[in-house]
Chains A and B, each alone.
Chain A
Amino acid sequence: MDKETKLAEIRERLKVLLVDQLSLEDITPEEIGDDCELFGAGLGLDSLDAVEIVVMLQRNFGMEVKDMEKSREVFRTIGTLADYVYSKTEG
């Protein structure tokens, strides 16, 4: 599978997981854009969601997020998160 296809697959899987694991209301995975900001004005996630995403990545992708400070940029959008997951699991 080439990188773009794999990244697309990761993005879709992340959207499903976010809606499910964070109990997001009034939004479906399909409605979340790749460039949608996760925190602040976009999905409106907060600090508790951030640590929940860390657990979600661990359980579903076998990844550790060691440094929460660095995670700010990585967790910015679905796209940046998918890139990070790809780099840790496939790269």
Chain B
Amino acid sequence: MIPDAVFITGMGVVSAAGIGVEASLASMAASERNIAPVSLFSSPVKLPVFEVRGVPPRTRPGKMRTLDLLEIALAEALASAGLNETAGLRIGVALGTTVACQLNDLGFYSSFREKLAAPFESVDGFLEGNLAEATARRLGLTGPTMVVVNACSSGTDAIGAALSWLNAGLCDIAIAGGADEMNRIPLAGFKALSVASSEPCRPFDKNRSGLNLGEGAGVLVMETAESAVKRGLKSTLHVCGYGSSADAYHLTAPHPEGEGLIRAVNAALRQANLQPADIAFINAHGTSTPDNDRVEGRALLKLFGPEIKVLSTKGYTGHTLGAAGGIEAVFTAAGLSKGWIPGSAGFQALDEEIGLLPTLGKTEIAGRYALSTSLAFGGNNSALIIGLEDSQ
């Protein structure tokens, strides 16, 4: 196995595509797109979104929905990793988010503005709700904890942090991924940036007109080979490379030549000791904005050539912000493991300016490595390589 590689021994996911890995895969295989007007709160912004179904808006007053979504994905991940008991194990937690790190509660703030006093339920929920701190506290974990807030690359970056921790011997097991909820405040923000579409998103399509917001959580359980053997686990999936690089170009627009992304992908390939030809498919960031898809698509074409299998799963989940990297890592791992990836939902017509044709329907995969890319507002670009070992 690649020296820096660590095993993926568990995973869990929740999004508009479904609750759990199997349900999500079945939904994507059936080309279902659970997009609808916002139902979780009232908003004059009439944009379609991808909400998680079957999860009540709040399980407890003051507790952030992001934490609820995380716990669903986490429960599946821990169960699949056989981690019902964590005592005595060195476990770290690295999670990405964009909504849960702020006091995004208009009720609290309106009250404070009006009356100079406000109930503290949501404040307490916020102070106790740092995703990694809350998880570590709840499970009694003693390893490093980090919440990465790098906007849209947060989930991928959290997995990258966990890879670094495991290779540094700071923990033996790491829970890593991301979570974000549908929230009125970022919905207003993305509308204001004129990057959200009033139609279902169409990643890489010639006529794409913007993104749709989504929510969810995606979590991997990563561990060293030694730890997995000690716990009697056999896993064929592993994280083998990670790269992260900034454009240093603009507060919201990506570098036009995708320079930061190219550097990040090359760094991940170098760590994994791989060439572009080794990559079987790419789960692209593919938000469906004119800018992102053009920049990302052209950069991936340059690196991998026109035959590369590429898709964006945001056509099934929406753009889940800090959760995206975690959710997409799970889908990437599942794609390798199952030997197929779904069609890139929303795509109809080739954009000649990009020159990449994403998957048109369920597509068989024969290969051992896959790449997941994330491009963040603010210019950070991240790339993650997941591999499939032959089982011993």
Contacts and interface: CB of A to CB of B under 8 A. Distances in A.
Do A and B contact each other directly (Cβ–Cβ < 8 Å)?
yes
Interface of A: 46-48, 51, 54-55, 68
A27 B194 CA distance: 28
Contacts of B251: 48
16 contacts: A46-B250, A46-B253, A47-B250, A47-B252, A47-B253, A48-B193, A48-B250, A48-B251, A48-B252, A48-B253, A51-B192, A51-B193, A51-B194, A54-B194, A55-B192, A68-B194
Do most interface residues of chain B lie in helix, strand or loop, or is the interface mixed?
loop
A39 B78 CA distance: 52
A-B pairs with lowest CB-CB distance, top 9 = A51-B194, A48-B252, A47-B253, A68-B194, A51-B193, A48-B251, A55-B192, A51-B192, A46-B250
Contacts of A51: 192-194
Nearest to A51: B194
Do most interface residues of chain A lie in helix, strand or loop, or is the interface mixed?
helix
A43 to B, nearest CB: 16
Q: In the complex, which of the residues A48, A54, A55 has the most CB atoms of chain B within 10 Å of its own CB atom?
A: A48
Interface in B234-258: 250-253
Interface string B183-194: 000000000111
Interface in B321-366: none
Contacts of A46: 250, 253
Contacts of B194: 51, 54, 68
B151 to A, nearest CB: 15
Contacts of A55: 192
B150 to A, nearest CB: 19
Contacts of B253: 46-48
Nearest to A52: B192
Given A47-B250, A48-B193, A54-B194, 13 more contacts: A46-B250, A46-B253, A47-B252, A47-B253, A48-B250, A48-B251, A48-B252, A48-B253, A51-B192, A51-B193, A51-B194, A55-B192, A68-B194
Contacts of B252: 47-48
Contacts of B192: 51, 55
Interface string B209-246: 00000000000000000000000000000000000000
Nearest to B252: A48
Nearest to A65: B194
Contacts of A48: 193, 250-253
A26 to B, nearest CB: 20
